[in-house]
């Protein structure tokens, strides 16, 4: 190497050494940061881990682990009240997901394409539910139903959840709609499709990954929503979250641990699905908006 270097006296060996030193510095692991990260994840997941662990407890205690057993899962499987609540929650989530995806998707299309002052105002108003404390939405929904003389039921939960979820769907889909090439829909119409056919045959398939990602997110949000459900549900049947809350007031049953663990497993599956769906379509994450990419 020394031989290849030009014979200039002003170019010493420095350039060859410096990059190596720099690389070494970047390689050194910042231990403080690693510790902070470890503490963060511990605080985040320890309580959940405890719940999962004690769901396999053979004893009824919530503090002493007696040994591995599936008795609380067994108990849950035979608890008709909890099972019917689970069914109610699933129904509410499905209906709310379907409703908010349709309405939120339509809103996203409208907001992107209607470039009037009223349109941009609607775009801002749409964001309000995201920052409104949920308890306010809950109380307001309950007062609205009472005022209209509508009896609280599973149906009122569904309506409230749809209202609440539209914003999430719209926020996710709006950026996708804006990123669509307008010429593609024009091309469809040019080839003989009506406006509606162009939307159905070209625009919606292009939006499908984002739509599915939004659906999964809304399903998960609605399924474990408590506040809104608490204020708008009728007495029977109650959604799972509300049922668990009531059950805890009369003393915690370890069955709840089993339910919690199952919900956790379900959520993990959903998130995995949401991350996986866009890959199916050969493009990067539909959940970009969530992961901040």
Partner 1 sequence: MDATDAIPAVRLDGVCKQFAGSYAVHDLDLDIEAGHFFSLLGPSGCGKTTSLRMIGGFTDPTEGSVLLAGEDVTGLPPDKRNVNTVFQSYALFDHLSIADNIAFGLKRKGVERTEIRRRVGEMLELVQLGGLADRKPRTLSGGQRQRVALARALVNRPAVLLLDEPLAALDLKLRRQMQVELKQIQREVGITFVFVTHDQDEALTMSDRIAVMNAGRVEQCGTPEDIYEHPASNFVASFMGTSNLMTGTYRDGEVALDQGPALPVGRRTGITDGTAVSVSVRPEKIWLSDFEPGMPVLSGVIRETVYSGPTTTYLIEIAPGVTLSVLEQNTARARMEDRWSGGETVEFGWRPEHCLVLA
Would you tell me which residues interact with partner 1 (CB under 8 A)? 181, 183-184, 186-195, 197, 201-202, 205-206, 208, 281-282
Q: How far apart are CA 52 and CA 259, in angstroms?
A: 9
CB 60 within 8 A of CB 186: no
Which of 142, 202 has the CB closer to partner 1?
202
What is the token pair recorded at 88? Answer: 């109610």
Closest CA to 257 of 89, 50, 87, 82: 50
Judging by beta carbons within 10 Å of its beta carbon (0-12, 13-18, 19+), is residue 62 exposed, middle or buried? middle
- DSSP letter, residue 180: S
Q: What's the chain's Rg over C-alpha atoms?
A: 27
- In whole angstroms, how close is the CB of 289 to partner 1 at the nearest point? 20
Smallest distance, Å, CB 119 to partner 1?
A: 17
In the complex, the smallest distance separating the C-beta of residue 172 from partner 1, rounded to whole angstroms, is 19
Question: Of the two residues 190 and 236, which places its CB atom closer to partner 1 in the complex?
Answer: 190
198's tokens: 């162009």
- 214 vs 228, which CB is nearer to partner 1? 214
CB 177 within 8 A of CB 119: no
Q: Which two tokens stand for residue 244?
A: 């668990």
Closer Cβ to partner 1, 17 or 189, answer by number: 189
Please, what's the largest Cα pairwise distance for the chain?
A: 94
DSSP 3-state assignment of 57? strand
Least Å distance, CB 208 to partner 1, is 8
Closer to partner 1 by CB, 199 or 290: give it.
Answer: 199
Rounded to the nearest whole angstrom, what is the least distance from the CB of residue 281 to partner 1 in the complex? 8
Q: Which is nearer to partner 1, 36 or 184 (CB)?
A: 184
Assess contact for 257 and 70: CB atoms under 8 A: no
Instruction: Please state the closest distance from residue 198 (CB atom) to partner 1, in A.
Output: 8
Q: How far is the CB of 277 from partner 1 (least distance, A)?
A: 14
Question: CB-wise, 114 or 187, nearer to partner 1?
Answer: 187
Length of the chain measured in residues: 293
Residue 65 has which token pair? 């682990």
């Amino acid at each position: 190497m020394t031989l290849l270097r030009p014979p200039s006296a002003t170019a010493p060996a420095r350039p060859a050494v410096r990059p190596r030193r720099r690389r070494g510095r970047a390689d050194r692991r910042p231990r403080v940061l690693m510790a902070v990260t470890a503490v963060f994840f511990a605080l985040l997941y320890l309580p959940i881990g405890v719940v999962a662990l004690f769901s396999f407890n053979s004893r009824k205690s919530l503090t002493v682990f007696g040994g591995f057993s599936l008795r609380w899962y067994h108990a849950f499987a035979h608890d008709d009240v909890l099972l019917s609540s689970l069914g109610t929650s699933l129904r509410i989530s499905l209906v709310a997901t379907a409703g908010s995806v349709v309405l939120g998707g339509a809103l996203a299309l409208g907001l992107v394409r209607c470039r009037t002052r009223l349109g941009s105002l609607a775009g801002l108003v749409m964001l309000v539910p995201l920052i409104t404390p949920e308890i306010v939405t809950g109380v307001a929904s309950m007062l609205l139903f009472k005022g209209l003389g509508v009896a609280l039921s599973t149906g009122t939960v569904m309506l409230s959840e749809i209202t609440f979820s539209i914003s999430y769907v719209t926020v996710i889909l709006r950026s996708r709609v804006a990123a669509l090439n307008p010429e593609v829909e024009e091309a469809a119409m040019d080839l003989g499709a009506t406006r509606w056919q162009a939307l159905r045959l070209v625009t919606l398939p292009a939006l499908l990954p984002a739509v599915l990602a939004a659906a999964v997110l809304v399903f998960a949000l609605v399924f474990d929503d408590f506040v809104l459900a608490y204020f708008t549900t009728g007495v029977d049947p109650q959604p799972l979250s509300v049922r668990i809350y009531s059950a805890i007031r009369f003393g915690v049953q370890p069955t709840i641990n089993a339910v919690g663990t199952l919900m956790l497993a379900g959520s993990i599956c959903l998130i995995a699905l949401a991350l996986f769906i866009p890959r199916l379509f050969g493009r990067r994450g539909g959940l970009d908006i969530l992961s901040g990419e």
